[in-house]
Chains A and B, each alone.
Chain A
Amino acid sequence: MIAIPFAGLVLGFLVVYRLLPPIPSRWADYVAIAIVAGLDAFAGAGRNWLERRFDEAIFISGFFVNMVLAALLAYVGDKLGVDLYLAVVVALGIRIFNNLGRARALLVSMRVEARKARAGASAE
């Protein structure tokens, strides 16, 4: 079932990469930061899913709103001459690392518990 979203990802990438012209480079920075925000939403979703409290409404709203907010913040920073861009990148980067770290810890602990359960079952 996970193959369908993944196919969507690849399809979106290929279609845009092959068919659409590149955007003006002054916009490229904002798209880049929006992508980082999107990745953050994915990392958060992954963690929530492992914690069994994934909610697609939160995920989708977070994905789009954070993307727009991140790009907007970077844009405002550029207009003001402050590198808010960096603030966004740092904040999002830390969040991505946190979420991925939690997700990894959860996965590991789940494996350990599964092994324990198996060991307990075989001992009986």
Chain B
Amino acid sequence: MALLLSGSKRWVIPFTFVCLVLGSMLGIQVHTQRLRGATQVGRQTSALVGMLTRNEAQVQQQKQEIDQLRARLAEYEKEAASEKGLTRLMNEDLRAARIALGTVEVKGPGIELEIADSTMRTSDEFGAQDVYVIHDFDLLQIANELWCAGAEAISLNNQRLITGSAIACSARLIEVNGVTVANPFLFRAIGDKAKLVSALNIRDGVLDRLRVLQFPVKLTAKDDVVILPIAVAPKYEYARPVEKEAGK
């Protein structure tokens, strides 16, 4: 010890101390980093998978609940329909409202429109492909045309479009009603067949634009289009009807 402290060797003790500190920091860091690399990703993924399965189970359960509730509602309606007068009128209103809300399966004449990503490819260059895939706005435009032509019910890849249904792009996927839909896309719409077809085929309209870029487009008029109900009806948390006072 005396040797360490004497003269020219004075540096050894502080140097050792510094080395100790640096060594322990390296120890901490390597330890943390190894765990980060090895298990954190794994842990996170498994946690996400767990969450997903739990959510899916929950969704399944809730869907069953919805089916049960709908069955019960149908019974009530049947009973109500058998009564006369006001209840009957109310029941008819209810039917229309439910079609508008998309909570019932509906059937009728209409169209089916199938579109898919373009068969045309310029190069393998990333980004250049953007022109040749279907975007959320293409689908939005089609849906809009259909509503304009008086469609009474529309579905996109079996997702019922109702008031409040958003067609949105999230990352490179398209979501409808919060559910991811993918290429190819299938629109079903119920309404005046001729009107719907001509609205879609309008010159310089959306289908014209897509056909030019060699997107496969298949538009067929049908007499029995079936449109599934929406999985979960929207809830109204904020909007309240305005009550008009009598006599005003």
Q: Give complex CA distance A7, B17 in Å.
A: 11
Q: Give the contact-size bracket for chain B.
A: 20 to 34
| Set B9, B24, B35, B36: member contacting A13, Cβ < 8 A | B24
Q: Give the contact-size bracket for chain A.
A: 20 to 34
| B25 interfacial by beta-carbon distance below 8 Å | yes
Select from chain B the residue with minimum beta-carbon distance to A35: B25
| Set A12, A32, A39: member contacting B23, Cβ < 8 A | A12
Q: Are B32 and A1 in contact (CB under 8 A)?
A: no
| B128 interfacial by beta-carbon distance below 8 Å | no
| A69 interfacial by beta-carbon distance below 8 Å | no
Q: Give complex CA distance A42, B21 in Å.
A: 12
A122 to chain B, nearest CB (A): 31
| Set A5, A16, A54, A59: member contacting B24, Cβ < 8 A | A16
Q: Give complex CA distance A79, B77 in Å.
A: 60
Q: Give complex CA distance A8, B24 in Å.
A: 9
Report B-chain residues with C-beta under 8 Å of the C-beta of A14: 27
Q: Give complex CA distance A109, B10 in Å.
A: 28
Q: Are B32 and A28 in contact (CB under 8 A)?
A: yes
CB-CB contacts of A95-122 with B at 8 A, as 1s and 0s?
Answer: 0000000000000000000000000000
Report B-chain residues with C-beta under 8 Å of the C-beta of A13: 23-24, 26-27, 30
A22-B35 contact, Cβ under 8 Å, with A13-B23, A16-B27, A32-B29: yes
| A65 interfacial by beta-carbon distance below 8 Å | no
- Chain A residues 45-66 with CB under 8 Å of chain B are 54, 56, 59-60, 63-64
Q: Are B29 and A8 in contact (CB under 8 A)?
A: no
| Set B10, B21, B26, B27: member contacting A56, Cβ < 8 A | B10
Q: Are A60 and B28 in contact (CB under 8 A)?
A: no
Q: Give complex CA distance A51, B71 in Å.
A: 90
Select from chain A the residue with minimum beta-carbon distance to B9: A1
Q: Give complex CA distance A34, B14 in Å.
A: 19
| B18 interfacial by beta-carbon distance below 8 Å | yes
Q: Are B19 and A9 in contact (CB under 8 A)?
A: yes
A58 to chain B, nearest CB (A): 11
B124 to chain A, nearest CB (A): 33
Q: Give complex CA distance A7, B15 in Å.
A: 11
- Chain A residues 14-37 with CB under 8 Å of chain B are 14-17, 20, 22-23, 25, 28, 31-32, 34-35
CB-CB contacts of A55-96 with B at 8 A, as 1s and 0s?
Answer: 010011001100000000000000000000000000000000
B18 to chain A, nearest CB (A): 5
| B137 interfacial by beta-carbon distance below 8 Å | no
| A44 interfacial by beta-carbon distance below 8 Å | no
Select from chain B the residue with minimum beta-carbon distance to A55: B11
Q: Are A38 and B29 in contact (CB under 8 A)?
A: no
Report A-chain residues with C-beta under 8 Å of the C-beta of B19: 5-6, 8-9, 12
| B144 interfacial by beta-carbon distance below 8 Å | no
Select from chain A the residue with minimum beta-carbon distance to B3: A1
* Contact sample, A vs B, 8 pairs, CB 8 Å cutoff: A8-B23, A13-B27, A15-B24, A16-B27, A22-B32, A28-B36, A31-B28, A63-B18
User: Which A residues form the contact surface with B (CB < 8 A)?
Assistant: 1, 4-17, 20, 22-23, 25, 28, 31-32, 34-35, 38-39, 41-42, 54, 56, 59-60, 63-64
Contacts A22-B28, A38-B18, A56-B15 known; list 4 others, CB within 8 Å.
Answer: A5-B16, A8-B16, A22-B31, A28-B32
